[in-house]
């Protein structure tokens, strides 16, 4: 008898024995597939959880960043009165190094009297006539506000730009919640209509400015 005969003989053994072994092989194969699927599912789950966690962390840090922004922003507008007065905003004055000439105000909500325009109407200086409960402001402060080209305002000391597209009075304009300007019926046309081609504001015009700005000087109120 040759070795080959044993191989042939094994090939001819009872089919039940073959089926039995085959079932074990198939079972093992299924297990491997299931394991693979579980592994893929686990990787997918971990990836989703990781992305979710990262998104949550980023979201949290984004909120913190806004609140703690060094450039200063509005913490809340919620309790402002309809007439624009007694805004109830918690204003803070930081002894910042942002402006060359004065203190940087993280938040400003004041009634301003226009005292002068220069640089072709792109910048004005205003004198605080009403602090609107802004604790750290006082009447007589001079505030410089820079307007950008025609329809935007650039608030010095912050660098952000605010669009002023002929908004109705008493409306609010916000840019990314960092800067908001609110103006009253007394807002000068130049503010509502932009700078170019509009008449310069009249000295003595009043409007409410709620924004970051630079305090140029503290001049005792004549009143």
Partner 1 sequence: MQDEKIIELYFERDERAIEETAAKYENYLFKIAMNVLSDREDSRECVNDSYFAAWESIPPARPKGLSGYLGKITRRISIDRYRYKTRDKRRESEYTVSLDELSECIEARENAEVAAEVKELSGAISKFLQRQPKEKRILFIMRYYFFDSLSEAAENCGISENKAKKILFNMRNSLREYLEKEGFLL
Binding region for partner 1 (CB under 8 A): 1, 4-15, 17-22, 24-25, 28
Distance between CA atoms of 210 and 202, rounded to whole angstroms? 20
Pairing status of strand 123-130 against strand 109-118 = antiparallel
For 19, the 3-state DSSP assignment is: helix
Residue 10 or residue 56: which is nearer to partner 1 going by CB?
10
Cβ proximity to partner 1, 4 vs 100, nearer residue: 4
Closest contact distance (angstroms) between CB of 32 and partner 1 is 9
Longest CA span, the chain: 127
Closest approach of partner 1 to the CB of residue 37, in Å: 18
Closer of 30 and 101 to partner 1 (Cβ): 30
What string of DSSP letters covers 40-83?
HHHHHHHHHHHHHHHHHHHHHHHHHHHHT-TT---S--TT--TT
């Amino acid at each position: 008898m040759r070795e080959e005969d044993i191989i042939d003989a094994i090939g001819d053994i009872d089919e039940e024995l073959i089926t039995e072994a085959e079932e074990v092989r198939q079972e093992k194969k299924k297990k491997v597939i299931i394991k693979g699927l579980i592994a893929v599912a686990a990787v997918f789950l971990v990836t989703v959880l990781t992305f979710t966690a990262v998104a949550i962390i980023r979201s949290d840090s984004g909120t913190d960043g806004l609140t703690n922004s060094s450039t200063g922003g509005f913490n809340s507008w919620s309790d402002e009165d309809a007439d624009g007065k007694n805004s109830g905003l918690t204003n803070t004055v930081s002894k910042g190094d942002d402006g060359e000439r004065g203190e940087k105000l993280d938040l400003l909500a004041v009634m301003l009297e226009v005292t002068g325009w220069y640089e072709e109407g792109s910048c004005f200086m205003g004198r605080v006539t009403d602090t609107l409960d802004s604790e750290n402001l006082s009447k007589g402060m001079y505030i410089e506000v820079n307007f950008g080209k025609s329809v935007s305002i650039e608030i010095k000391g912050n660098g952000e730009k605010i669009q002023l597209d002929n908004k109705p009075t008493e409306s609010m304009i916000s840019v990314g919640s960092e800067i908001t300007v609110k103006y009253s019926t007394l807002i000068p046309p130049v503010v509502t209509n932009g700078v170019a081609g509009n008449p310069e504001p009249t000295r003595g015009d009043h409007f409410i400015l709620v924004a970051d700005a630079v305090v140029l000087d503290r001049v005792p109120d004549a009143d």
